[in-house]
Chains A and B, each alone.
Chain A
């Protein structure tokens, strides 16, 4: 099946710094990429949807200036958590899909802000 690679798998950063998470579709062109956040024992929460070459669409309550999403090509999207704080500690997951296929997920990134 299709492969989506997410990097890094885990990261620890100091409060106030920024962290970039990459999501790559390795063997298909992803017309749409999704970024999710998941807190322990809770369901996936969609943060934003991005289509290649256009600005991301953020879900209500998600700060676009804090969670910067760039989808510059059909195989790469990045999520940058700016000025991270301990409450941003979470499991971040990307997924990528073409129009008529299922979504393929990256491995997830566990972010811990200290």
Chain B
């Protein structure tokens, strides 16, 4: 079966750094996405990794290791507005998006 695992909830302090991990087991791989979703809103795209390595985009970075079936999203200089759910999703061999359950990130002052 296809499976994506990520922690249910994480707590971090404003100004700090947090790393959200995602492991996956899918039938084929055509890319991994990270999305941010605030409560009551649709998800918004954060990053896309298809090759191994680190992709940096401002305060957010995403890392991928295809051999390990592993990715992480790194958030730096945390702000209160970063409190949200972060969803990991993988595109399989049929270009279907397989979703993780999401990690709820709570930022404390």
Contact = CB atoms under 8 A, between A and B. Distances in A.
Most buried by A among B42, B43, B44, B89: B42
Interface stretch (B15-23, B75-83, B97-105): B97-105
A49 B97 CA distance: 10
B44 A43 contact: no
Contacts of B102: 43-44
B96 interface: yes
Contact of B42 (A43, A97, A105): A105
A44 B33 contact: no
A110 B39 CA distance: 12
Interface residues of B, number: 17
Given A102-B48, A103-B33, A44 B96 contact: no
B40 interface: yes
Interface in A75-105: 91, 93, 95, 97, 99, 102-105
Nearest to A109: B42
25 contacts: A1-B45, A6-B42, A43-B87, A43-B99, A43-B102, A44-B43, A44-B87, A44-B99, A44-B102, A46-B99, A49-B96, A91-B40, A93-B42, A95-B97, A97-B97, A102-B33, A102-B45, A103-B45, A104-B45, A105-B44, A105-B45, A107-B41, A108-B41, A108-B42, A110-B40
Interface of B: 33, 40-45, 48, 87, 89, 95-97, 99-102
Given A44-B102, A106-B42, 12 more contacts: A1-B45, A6-B42, A32-B95, A43-B87, A43-B99, A44-B43, A46-B97, A97-B97, A103-B89, A107-B41, A108-B41, A108-B42
